[in-house]
Amino acid sequence: MQIRDTAAIVTGAASGLGAATAAALAAEGARVFGFDLPAAIEGAPDVEGVTYVAVDVTDAEQVQAAVETAASAGLPLRTVVNCAGIGPSMRILGKKGVHDLAFYAKVVQVNLIGSFNVMALAAEKIAATEPLEHGQRGVVINTASVAAYEGQVGQAAYASSKGGIVGLNLPAARDLAQYGIRVNTIAPGIVETPMLATVSEEFRAGLAAGIPFPQRLGRAAEYADLALFLVHHDYLNGEVFRMDGALRMAPR
């Protein structure tokens, strides 16, 4: 599918995976609407072709308004990449007691429900565009994690939310097929992000040592490359793609 002269939505676009993907789409000629929280946008990179929109993906009204903005830009909305997410940890039963229910709900609300809502509302706009060859209109890429398959100690909430993204993938692809919208998911392993930049080099080296090959952390640009490949490849649909160097996470 052609990216140039189309509109795209990227959530979590102010940093990490989202920032790399927004920049990559803009470099290929898309007008990108980067959704993120106001505080995150203040420190976001200034990238030609990327317009930041202050959005909390857990707020249905904000998402609706932001999607309307992207869809009314004068270019057909074709691409959505959901990168917004949080990854705090807490054990189901720990030294401080039972897992906080509000904490669990918040992680699911951001990672799973937020992604679902952006996908659903954007799909409505994509479905209204003129069809391309073979009736295709657009593509949605969601972000899961290897934790969806091998969640570690303390990742009950995070793994639940990312497992939900994996479970959502195929039915979403089937639901949206009649409108010419493909749905795929990327499940990254350990990727260098701003969060990892705060830990010691020794700790980062220890993480990298557990990856079979290449024995290093993943890069946000590699996620962006895969996302663009999935946009371009019109026959890839309903699939989850692990990007992890053959990593299989240990219990802790």
Set out the domains of the chain in order of their start, with CATH numbers. Answer: 7-243 (3.40.50.720)
pTM of the model: 0.95
Q: Tell me, yes or no, if 158 is annotated catalytic.
A: yes
Residues 6+ apart with CB under 8 A from 133: none
Q: CA 240, CA 252: separation in Å to the nearest integer?
A: 24
Q: Which amino acid is at 230?
A: L
Q: Residue 250 burial by CB count (10 A; 0-12/13-18/19+): exposed, middle or buried? A: exposed
- How confident is the model over 66-109, as pLDDT tens digits? 999 999 999 999 999 999 999 889 999 999 999 999 999 999 99
For residue 122, what are its two tokens? Answer: 């954007």
| Structure confidence at residue 208 as a pLDDT band (50, 70, 90) | confident
What pLDDT, on the 0 to 100 scale, is given for residue 203? 67
Confidence of residue 250 (pLDDT cuts 50, 70, 90): confident
Exactly one of 149, 158, 179, 235 is catalytic; name it: 158
What pLDDT was estimated at residue 207? 79
Q: 183 versus 196: which is more confidently predicted? A: 183
The number of C-alpha atoms within 13 Å of 128 and in the hemisphere containing its C-beta is 10
- Mean of pLDDT values over 48-52: 98
* pLDDT over 90 at 128, yes or no: yes
